A and B are shown apart, each in its own frame.
Chain A
Amino acid sequence: AQTVTQSQPEMSVQEAETVTLSCTYDTSESDYYLFWYKQPPSRQMILVIRQEAYKQQNATENRFSVNFQKAAKSFSLKISDSQLGDAAMYFCAHSGNTPLVFGKGTRLSVIA
């Protein structure tokens, strides 16, 4: 069974600085996707970024980028130029032959 581990329950970052959230996963599949979702206080689940496992190039969406290390089964999220609106729970998730499996989340605080 797939598992997703986020080892940092809480992180904080100064506004305008860069922060990296960690995620490791375990899977026996060769074809899968990885996701980062953001859950602000409104509780809405918002897709941040997606990575296809067959792509070597790391995905980037504006200030958000990932470091995908397939052999190490690592999928970290880097947030650059952090903004107050980035404060939220961030969930890493794996999707393969089974629907999304989520990690337990990292709560990110942004300090003004």
Chain B
Amino acid sequence: DSGVTQTPKHLITATGQRVTLRCSPRSGDLSVYWYQQSLDQGLQFLIQYYNGEERAKGNILERFSAQQFPDLHSELNLSSLELGDSALYFCASSPRGGGGPKETQYFGPGTRLLVL
């Protein structure tokens, strides 16, 4: 158990809908990262937040957005869902202040999203 929690574990929804994935980092970790794992694209970095502020952005679609709250949990919002958004979405957290990407990242169990 990495100490990172993600809810829900599974999500089934229809095209065009909007969903919210939630992540709680390890106690004391200030940085949260979101990744997408799909069969065709592999594991891709989406976005990083550090202490409430966006720190780095990867291959995140405009239909997707995220935020980190004062209690440091994070939410990833996916809207206007398409079939191709079906994937495993991971949250990871890292410990130190500064949110440096060279820190070790600890992964949550993931949320499996299926868009029908």
Q: Which residues of A contact B104 (CB under 8 A)?
A: 33, 35, 47, 50
- Choose the segment among A15-23, A63-71, A95-103 that binds chain B (4+ C-beta atoms closer than 8 Å): A95-103
Give chain B nearest CB distance to A9 CB in angstroms: 12
In the complex formed, the residue of A with least CB distance to B55 is: A99
Tell me, yes or no, whether A55 is within 8 Å of chain B by CB. Answer: no
Tell me, yes or no, whether B28 is within 8 Å of chain A by CB. Answer: no
Contact between A43 and B88 (Cβ–Cβ < 8 Å)? Answer: yes
| B interface, over-half SS | strand
From A31, A46, A98, contact of B56 by CB (8 A): A98
CA distance A91 to B92 in the complex (A): 15
Q: Which residues of A contact B107 (CB under 8 A)?
A: 37, 44-47
Contact between B102 and A96 (Cβ–Cβ < 8 Å)? Answer: yes
From B42, B56, B110, B112, contact of A99 by CB (8 A): B56
Contact between A99 and B109 (Cβ–Cβ < 8 Å)? Answer: no
Contact between B110 and A100 (Cβ–Cβ < 8 Å)? Answer: no
Q: Which residues of A contact B88 (CB under 8 A)?
A: 43
In the complex formed, the residue of A with least CB distance to B33 is: A99
Q: Which residues of A contact B105 (CB under 8 A)?
A: 47, 95, 99-100
Tell me, yes or no, whether B43 is within 8 Å of chain A by CB. Answer: yes
CA distance A99 to B93 in the complex (A): 11
Assuming the A-B contacts A91-B43, A104-B42, are A97 and B109 also in contact, with contact meaning beta carbons closer than 8 angstroms in the complex?
Answer: no
Contact between A99 and B43 (Cβ–Cβ < 8 Å)? Answer: no
A-B pairs with the 10 shortest C-beta distances?
Answer: A45-B107, A102-B43, A99-B101, A99-B45, A33-B102, A95-B101, A104-B42, A95-B102, A44-B109, A99-B48
**Hey, which bits of chain A sit against chain B, CB under 8 A?**
31-33, 35, 37, 42-47, 50, 91, 95-102, 104-105
For the A-B complex with A50-B104, A98-B58, A99-B33 known, give 18 more contacts whose Cβ atoms are closer than 8 Å.
A31-B102, A32-B102, A35-B104, A37-B107, A44-B110, A45-B90, A45-B92, A47-B107, A95-B105, A96-B101, A97-B101, A98-B56, A99-B56, A99-B101, A99-B105, A100-B105, A104-B42, A105-B42
